[in-house]
Amino acid sequence: MQIQTSWLVLIPIVFGLGWLAARWEMRLQEFEDDVEQTKKQHSTFRGINLLLSEQHDKAIDALVEVAKLDPETTELHFALGSLFRRRGETERAIRVHQHLSNRQDILPKDRSHAAYELGRDFLRAGMLDRAESSLNLVIEGRYHLPAKVALLEMYQIEKDWRKAIIAATELGVLEKKNYQDQIAHFYCEIAVESMRSKNLIAAKEAIDQAFYAVPHHIRATILRGELAIAQQRPHEAIEAWGNIEKKSPAYLHLIADKWMKAHAELSLEQEGLEKLKLHLQEQGAGELLDMVFKHVLRIEGPKQAQTLMNNVMLSTPSLTAMTKRLEAQFLIAQASAEEASMAEIKASLDLLKQKTNSLARYTCSNCGFRARRFYWQCPGCNHWDVYSPKRSEGIGSV
């Protein structure tokens, strides 16, 4: 009985001690959690502060510390991944985003986000196949549209024009935006490639599709003429290019030489040249001037070329016209062996050529990229139809 009485006393004491130990453990755990939380908060704030003060290296160290303390955080991983990519540390960005997309416990929207970011990382690293696979995993949600935009950009880099057409068509529906101009250019690219590989049937189909996307498309009209030349039908080429000559003469310089060749094949060279001459009034500094000058010199001689340049100088003075006039004068002096005049003209000519060569440029209206030749797609910003067909001789002049 004595034992039973002591048990009665001991049992509450043991329970009491157990309760106290549990409480103590809880308090200890709470304390440890508080310390960890404070550490996380401290590192997060430190990271943000460093980010704001543009100290990216230190910011990354601080944020990596938080990610280690709480590996389940998704937002922080996204922030880190995008920071790595922005700094050009693509491999690290890929690792972070791959870790996120491999996790089983994240929400579908985060999985989509991770696939999109991973796609952009691969794109940045030039791993286009993997970028395509990742971006194609984003089939809905907030990142669906940006993923399609990235895919379209990628197909253009790869020059995979057929896939670009599909992506642009889908984007057109998603964004309720008109992508027809771009689609017409993609078909034109296919036509150019087909003509290069002598597949004239495929070229014709692509040109027809370009017109279907944008009726009277300028580039497709130019290509229709080139296709006719490839089929040995100069008459049809002149007919197609006649539309450029009448409706979009600013683009004539892109076909002027071929135009002259087609006319020559039909013994209509002079007629073709006269039509080109008419457009010099509005293209005093353009490439058309160089071409018309060359053909006038060849067909009519230096005196006629000089007269033409005198007229251009009166209506639309430009450094290009002045240079061409001196070139004609030089040839006239050379023909009559006037050594002194030749030396004098040559000195001015060299100086002018130097100036016009460095100034004459086509300029992108979107990013300001300046180039010596005309592009349908800007090599600087990859936008289409952003180059004015008119070459300029410096800022403000045409």
Dihedral Cα 44, 45, 50, 54, nearest 10 deg: 90
**What is the rounded CA–CA span in Å between residue 120 and residue 116?**
6
**What is the rounded CA–CA span in Å between residue 211 and residue 244?**
15
Q: Which of residues 278-297 bind Zn ion (CB under 5 A)?
A: none
For residue 41, give both structure tokens: 């908060």
- Give the shortest CB-375-to-Zn ion separation in angstroms: 9
Residue whose CB is less far from Zn ion, 212 or 376: 376
Cα distances from 204 to residues 166, 213, 230, 273, 383, in angstroms, run 20, 14, 11, 28, 25
- Give the shortest CB-366-to-Zn ion separation in angstroms: 4
Stretch that binds Zn ion, among 20-28, 110-118, 241-249, 371-379 (CB under 5 A): 371-379
Q: Which of residues 311-370 bind Zn ion (CB under 5 A)?
A: 364, 366-367, 369
Decide: is 381 part of the binding site for Zn ion (CB under 5 A): yes
- Give the shortest CB-168-to-Zn ion separation in angstroms: 19
- Give the shortest CB-387-to-Zn ion separation in angstroms: 8
CB-based contact 232:200 (threshold 8 Å): no
The count of residues in the chain is: 398
**What is the rounded CA–CA span in Å between residue 328 and residue 195?**
38
Decide: is 227 part of the binding site for Zn ion (CB under 5 A): no
Stretch that binds Zn ion, among 86-94, 101-109, 146-154, 379-387 (CB under 5 A): 379-387
Coil, strand or helix: which one is 398? coil
- Give the shortest CB-368-to-Zn ion separation in angstroms: 7
Residue whose CB is less far from Zn ion, 96 or 386: 386
Q: Which of residues 107-146 bind Zn ion (CB under 5 A)?
A: none
- Give the shortest CB-382-to-Zn ion separation in angstroms: 7
- Give the shortest CB-376-to-Zn ion separation in angstroms: 12
Residue whose CB is less far from Zn ion, 121 or 385: 385
- Give the shortest CB-143-to-Zn ion separation in angstroms: 26
Residue whose CB is less far from Zn ion, 354 or 382: 382
Residue whose CB is less far from Zn ion, 35 or 381: 381
- Give the shortest CB-377-to-Zn ion separation in angstroms: 9
Cα distances from 155 to residues 15, 90, 160, 162, in angstroms, run 72, 20, 5, 9
Residue whose CB is less far from Zn ion, 29 or 382: 382
Q: Is 183 left (phi over 0), alpha (psi -120 to 50) or beta?
A: alpha
Q: What is the CB-side half-sphere exposure of residue 43 using CA atoms within 13 A? A: 17
Residue whose CB is less far from Zn ion, 146 or 380: 380
Identify the H or E element spanning 359: helix 339-359
Beta bridge partners of 55: none
**What is the rounded CA–CA span in Å between residue 275 and residue 125?**
51
**What is the rounded CA–CA span in Å between residue 107 and residue 278?**
67
What DSSP string describes 190-229? Answer: HHHHHHHTT-HHHHHHHHHHHHHHSTT-HHHHHHHHHHHH
Stretch that binds Zn ion, among 9-17, 253-261, 335-343, 373-381 (CB under 5 A): 373-381
Stretch that binds Zn ion, among 172-180, 185-193, 350-358, 374-382 (CB under 5 A): 374-382
Total site size for Zn ion, rule CB under 5 A: 7
Decide: is 378 part of the binding site for Zn ion (CB under 5 A): yes
Residue whose CB is less far from Zn ion, 84 or 369: 369
Coil, strand or helix: which one is 127? coil
Residue whose CB is less far from Zn ion, 141 or 380: 380
CB-based contact 121:93 (threshold 8 Å): yes
- Give the shortest CB-383-to-Zn ion separation in angstroms: 6
* Residue of 133, 129, 116 lying closest to 158 (CA atoms): 129
Could you list the residues that contact Zn ion (CB under 5 A)?
364, 366-367, 369, 378, 380-381
